[in-house]
Amino acid sequence: MDFWQNKRIWVVGASSGIGEGLIGWLVSSKARVLISARRDEKLREIQTRFSKDSVRLLKIDVEDHQSLEQKGEEAWSIFGGFDVVFLNAGMSVRDLVSDTQVMVEKRIMNINFWGPVILTKTLLKLKQPNDALHLVVTSSLSGKYGVPKLAAYAASKHALHGYFDSLRAETAQTNLKIHLVIPGFVKTAITVAGFRGDGTPNGKMQNALEKGMDPEVCAKYILVGVAKGKEEFVVGGSERFTVILNRLFPGWNRALIRSNPLQRLAKIKRFFGFQ
Ligand SMILES: NC(=O)c1ccc[n+]([C@@H]2O[C@H](COP(=O)([O-])OP(=O)(O)OC[C@H]3O[C@@H](n4cnc5c(N)ncnc54)[C@H](OP(=O)(O)O)[C@@H]3O)[C@@H](O)[C@H]2O)c1
């Protein structure tokens, strides 16, 4: 993984799951990594696994928009800039639209969409014209199509595509590179930590994620995709084919989603011998 050697990296959303999975690979590739999230006790525990020179820590809450410019500047000063920034922090809400409060939907947009956008604007101010910078934005299958009980989450991830595709087009002739990563089902606590429609913690892991990809394996595929210069790519099990299905036959994908998609997906997987 030569691409990562000596790179200065910021992982926002590094305290668990996919973000945490990235750290070990990056350090073993001799990158220096700044890790950020809200739970600093979790970040400190992660930091103890590595040398203090290779992994630094900065607590951040991407929902606290007032603080983000200053946090971005503080982060930038730690290694004197970044080569790659992973905008990976995210929260889910899992409930019917009719049972979800607008306040909770706004929180999801604030964390998943406005957090990465505000941090990006700060980074672009700090970046000098000669600095090369890769932004790696974590989207989702729900960033490509909507599914029941994930309306606000899907909206926030769709918004990331619209925003970062536009920014990529605006900066095509520059050394800013934007990668949109679409993980499939990854075995993390995203739905445990996430909200119900009333804003209380969901507290349970979604079945599909329970059987999903190991977050470290997912992290490795992400690093390979970025190193190869992929602008948008899907990482996951056979569920990743729904993105192709949606692109080629959107009507079929919509029909699939309406008719209990996970049960159907399990049937399709069995048909093709995936499980
Ligand atoms: N797991 C999947 O199947 C899957 C599929 C598609 C996309 N994704 C996306 O992958 C990304 C990582 O999620 P994950 O699955 O690895 O779940 P996770 O283990 O719950 O990780 C979420 C990360 O985001 C951080 N975070 C949440 N709210 C934050 C805030 N307000 N400020 C700063 N950091 C915050 C969390 O740290 P703190 O709680 O310490 O702040 C944690 O480090 C998310 O963007 C998620 O939408 C996941």
Structure tokens at 186: 């990854």
| Same domain assignment for residues 187 and 273 | no
- Domain range spanning residue 142? 2-236
Residue 261 binned pLDDT confidence (cut-offs 50, 70, 90) = low
| Same domain assignment for residues 165 and 99 | yes
| Same domain assignment for residues 208 and 251 | no
Centroid of ligand 1 to alpha carbon of 37 (angstroms): 9
Computed over every residue of the chain, the mean pLDDT equals 94
Report how far residue 202's alpha carbon sits from residue 20's, in angstroms, rounded to the nearest whole number: 21
Q: Identify the helix (H) or strand (E) that includes residue 70.
A: helix 65-79
| Same domain assignment for residues 160 and 255 | no
| Same domain assignment for residues 207 and 72 | yes
Query: Measured in whole angstroms, how far is the alpha carbon of residue 182 from the centre of its chain?
Result: 8
pLDDT of residue 264 exceeding 70, the answer is: no
Centroid of ligand 1 to alpha carbon of 205 (angstroms): 13
Report how far residue 24's alpha carbon sits from residue 41's, in angstroms, rounded to the nearest whole number: 18
Mean pLDDT to the nearest integer, 267-274 = 72
Domain of residue 219, CATH code: 3.40.50.720
User: 192-249, pLDDT tens digit by residue?
Assistant: 999 999 999 998 888 889 889 999 999 999 999 999 999 999 999 988 999 999 999 9
Centroid of ligand 1 to alpha carbon of 17 (angstroms): 7
Domain count, the chain: 2
For the Cβ of 60 lying below 6 angstroms from any atom of ligand 1, the answer is: yes
Known catalytic residues?
153
| Same domain assignment for residues 173 and 40 | yes
What is each CA distance from 214 to 17, 22, 217, 238, in whole angstroms? 9, 12, 5, 14
| Same domain assignment for residues 175 and 123 | yes
- In the chain, pLDDT over 70 holds for what percent of residues? 96
For the Cβ of 194 lying below 6 angstroms from any atom of ligand 1, the answer is: no
| Same domain assignment for residues 222 and 182 | yes
| Same domain assignment for residues 231 and 245 | no
For the Cβ of 202 lying below 6 angstroms from any atom of ligand 1, the answer is: no
| Same domain assignment for residues 182 and 203 | yes
Residue 184 binned pLDDT confidence (cut-offs 50, 70, 90) = very high
Structure tokens at 209: 């994620």
| Same domain assignment for residues 153 and 274 | no
For the Cβ of 16 lying below 6 angstroms from any atom of ligand 1, the answer is: yes
| Same domain assignment for residues 219 and 273 | no
